[in-house]
Amino acid sequence: MVDDQAQGDTKRAFVRKPVALDRRVTADGASGIRVEPNRYRLVIARACPWANRAAISRRLLGLEPVLSMGIAGPLHDDRSWRFHLDPGDRDPVLGIEYLGEAYRAADPDFSAGITVPALVDGTDGKVVTNGFAQLTLDFATEWREFHRDGAPDLYPERHRAEIDEINEAVYHDVNNGVYKCGFAGSQEPYEESYRALFARLDVLTERLATRRYLVGDSITEADIRLWVTLVRFDSVYHGHFKCNRSTLSAMPVLWAYARDLFQTPGFGDTIDFEQIKQHYYGVHRMINPTGVVPLGPDPSGWLTAHGREQLPGTPFGTGTPPGPPPQSERVPPLTP
């Protein structure tokens, strides 16, 4: 449970625990674990924003043919994420029912959070890493040999300082900021996080009013990280996490930016709003004790025109968009 991940301080603020298994897979194998085609399996859940980053990066970079993906269902219990969307309730490649089995294969005494995304070594079924922040940076850099033709550079050297700076602020105030609002155990840390969240969204609004993407003139890691929170905003963070100064759809610049990316191959085709709502409202019983999942909001607005083609920037620079996702990874089309 996410609340098990949180350590309370005296004001009962939500504090995210450090990543437990943070080994790296690198091109030269200097980390002890080398990038290899068809060896690892990326395990995600459609609901999870941290896992969503990895799914988007994999799509944009075209890693699907060399890095398979397992998809846990939206609900989990104290035995961890479960592959209940798969035939026989088991991941077809790893052969496991619960993701926790792969964590305990890596460390029989593993007692920290069993989280997605997790990169699992298919040769021994052990989790290599659940270090969500490093994972996508490594996809962009260490997995370069296996990128598709026309893949974008999501972490270009000349922009790294700027990307890192934005990512740091977005992580604290937005990505983790919504969780700090939602899981605040008392009024004061909630208000502090709420103010920091919307102040940051105001700053980002100003930045994105005159440019299509956050850094440089095409999509980077910074856009992926901001977007995974924006796309969940109206479905779960606005109500369930009390981030309700306004909906995303009432913030014109961010709403158009988020729609633009939703309609870009590799982004919207990773999103399943039903699974997102089922997870947040169904799993976080401490803040939604009934487990009732709201029917709204109507998601069809995501497909409306955004007008951001007029701004400086093109999605893939000199590269090309990815093709459609593999058949087995398609998400249901949006229905009102």
Ligand X SMILES: N[C@@H](CCC(=O)N[C@@H](CS)C(=O)NCC(=O)O)C(=O)O
Residues marked active site are found at 48, 179
> Interface with ligand X by CB under 6 A: which range of 42-50, 55-63, 208-216, 295-303?
42-50
Q: How far is the CB of 133 from ligand X (least distance, A)?
A: 8
Q: What is the DSSP letter of 16?
A: P
Cβ-based nearer residue to ligand X, 144 or 285: 285
2 lies in the binding site for ligand X (CB under 6 A) = yes
Q: Which CB, 68 or 275, lies closer to ligand X?
A: 275
256 part of the interface to ligand X, by CB under 6 A: no
Among 67, 116, 204, 248, binds ligand X (CB under 6 A): 116
Phi-psi domain of 45 (left: phi exceeds 0; alpha: psi -120 through 50; beta: other): beta
Please pick, from the candidates 12, 15, 16, 39, the single residue that binds ligand X as defined by CB under 6 A. Answer: 16
Contacts of ligand X in 128-167 (CB under 6 A)? 130, 132
**Cβ distance 70 to 90 under 8 Å?**
no
Q: Which lies closer to ligand X via its Cβ, residue 45 or residue 166? A: 45
Range list of H helices, the chain: 2-5, 49-61, 100-106, 132-141, 160-170, 177-182, 187-208, 221-230, 252-262, 273-283
Please report whether residue 72 would count as binding ligand X according to CB under 6 A.
Answer: no
Helix (H) or strand (E) holding 137: helix 132-141
Residue 1 touching ligand X (CB under 6 A): yes
Rounded distance between C-alpha atoms, residue 257 and residue 262, angstroms: 9
CA distance 238 to 253: 17
Nearer to ligand X, 44 or 208 (CB): 44
177 with 193: CB under 8 angstroms?
Answer: yes
On the 0-12 / 13-18 / 19+ scale of CB atoms within 10 A, 53 is: buried
Smallest gap from Cβ 225 to ligand X, in A, equals: 12
Considering only 29-37, 56-64, 114-122, 314-322, which stretch makes contact with ligand X by CB under 6 A?
114-122
- Residue 265, SS3? coil
CA distance 192 to 200: 12
**Least distance between ligand X and beta carbon 101 (Å):** 14
* Residue placing its CB nearer to ligand X in the complex, 5 or 205: 5
Q: Which long-range contacts (CB under 8 A, 24 or more apart) does 289-292 make?
A: none
Applying CB under 6 A, the span of 33-41, 47-55, 137-145, 260-268 interacting with ligand X comes to 47-55
CB of 1 to ligand X, least distance (A): 5
Q: Which amino acid is at 171?
A: Y
Q: What residue ranges bind ligand X (CB under 6 A)? A: 1-2, 5, 16-17, 19, 48-50, 113-116, 130, 132
